Amino acid sequence: MGNSVKHHPSLSLLEQFCDGSLTPEVALLVATHLDFCPHCQRLSKDIEADLACSFAAAPVAASQDDWLSMMQQVLAEAETTAKPVTPSTDPVVTNLEVGGHQFELPRALQRLSSKRSKWLTLGGIATARLPSGEPHHISLLFIDKNTAVPQHTHRGLEMTLVLAGEMVDEQGRYVPGDLIINTPDDTHTPRNVSDDPCLCLSVLSAPLQFKQGMTRLLNPLQRFFY
């Protein structure tokens, strides 16, 4: 297949995904990449198996006293944290409409997408925030055919996952499943140069900094994307 995923999360990012140490927003981005990528699905299964082995090999409580106090601690935690399990009532959204186009959503995004904010539109670009905590903001980003996001640099981390269509920037070409990570050292101009619309998932840890355009336009643009 000519359009296979080429840009993957690093091994360290996958390890943090598997051991649960990522923020929910970054974890959702990696989970969505996995929906597209059998290669990383296999890798994360291996990492999980390794984690399970190292957990099993960890030294157990040496004496009965340790064992008892551990059990007491576990039971106390169970008492304080046990709540009736309520299944998520968020409706499953399998398709999304924006800019007059329909997109099929990957499984990982189907529940959260019902909670998205309304679309903000600027030219051929639209964004909709998904619920998030700090420090990461997560949103859906629509880029219509033959449309560019204004050139910008980053004050923090920008992680972009292509969900549909394709996108190019100064570093390469990206297809659905490709994960692009930019840091404050990177300046780029993401563009959709194809005749099909593009949909991305974007995680930002700080507002973008735009390089062009009139100064008075910069702040509204920053708010639009963040």
Q: Rule CB under 5 A: which residues touch Zn ion?
A: 8, 37, 39-40
The CB-of-10 to Zn ion minimum distance in angstroms stands at 10
- Nearer of residues 49 and 217 to Zn ion, judged by Cβ: 49
In this structure, what token pair is assigned to residue 179?
């994960």
User: How many residues are listed for the chain in this entry?
Assistant: 226
Residues with Cβ within 8 Å of 129's Cβ and at least 6 positions away in sequence, in order, are 116, 117, 137, 138, 139
Tell me how far apart the alpha carbons of residues 168 and 179 are, in angstroms, rounded to a whole number: 12
Helix/strand/coil percent split, the chain, to 5: 35, 25, 40
- Nearer of residues 39 and 45 to Zn ion, judged by Cβ: 39
The CB-of-205 to Zn ion minimum distance in angstroms stands at 22
- Nearer of residues 98 and 159 to Zn ion, judged by Cβ: 159
The CB-of-64 to Zn ion minimum distance in angstroms stands at 47
- Nearer of residues 31 and 206 to Zn ion, judged by Cβ: 31
Tell me how far apart the alpha carbons of residues 45 and 41 are, in angstroms, rounded to a whole number: 6
* Amino acid at the residue 71: M
The candidate with the shortest Cα–Cα distance to 130, out of 52, 221, 29, is: 29
The candidate with the shortest Cα–Cα distance to 56, out of 64, 45, 48, is: 48
The CB-of-193 to Zn ion minimum distance in angstroms stands at 24
Residue 226 in contact with residue 137, Cβ under 8 Å?
A: yes
- Nearer of residues 13 and 143 to Zn ion, judged by Cβ: 13
Tell me how far apart the alpha carbons of residues 109 and 211 are, in angstroms, rounded to a whole number: 32
The CB-of-178 to Zn ion minimum distance in angstroms stands at 9
